[in-house]
Amino acid sequence: MALRETLRIMVVDDMSTSRGLIVQALEWMGIKHILESPDAADALGSLAKTPVHLVLSDYNMPGMDGLALLRKLRSMPATARLGFILITGRADAAMVSEGQRLGMNNLITKPFTPQSLKDCIERVVGRL
């Protein structure tokens, strides 16, 4: 069975349009198990009930940004080893450095193509 058929991914973005574009790209890749969350707090609640292998999170969200979500995930034993890709429209050096310090697995900047997202994901989980 191909990885794309068993891989479970959570998409976290406060913008429904952005979430939809990411989900569409994942479906194009053949990903079968996709969860969506409108914010970091909702994602944390969902992850407590339904574990995933990889989180794709927007950086700029109200309440808790993507790096704060990553910090929280890394602090809990059940989620400490999840794959984490940050999605951002601005990848400044300080943010990238903080993400790396927290254990971010990869980063992709907006706008991106479905192929560039696939390449980004494959660098974390292996060939889909």
Its domain, for residue 62, covers 3-125
pLDDT tens for each residue of 69-104: 999 999 999 999 999 999 999 889 999 999 999 999
Which residues have C-beta within 8 Å of that of residue 100, sequence separation ≥ 6? none
Q: How many independent structural domains does the chain possess? A: 1
Phi, psi at residue 15, to the nearest 5°? -95, 115
User: Any idea what the CATH number is for the domain that residue 105 is in?
Assistant: 3.40.50.2300
Residue 127 Cα distances to 2, 3, 29, 33, 121, angstroms:
9, 7, 11, 16, 9
Tens digits of residue pLDDT in 100-117: 999 999 999 999 999 999
Whether residue 1 has pLDDT greater than 90: no
At 28-67, the pLDDT tens digits run: 999 999 999 999 999 999 999 999 999 999 999 999 999 9
pLDDT of residue 91: 87
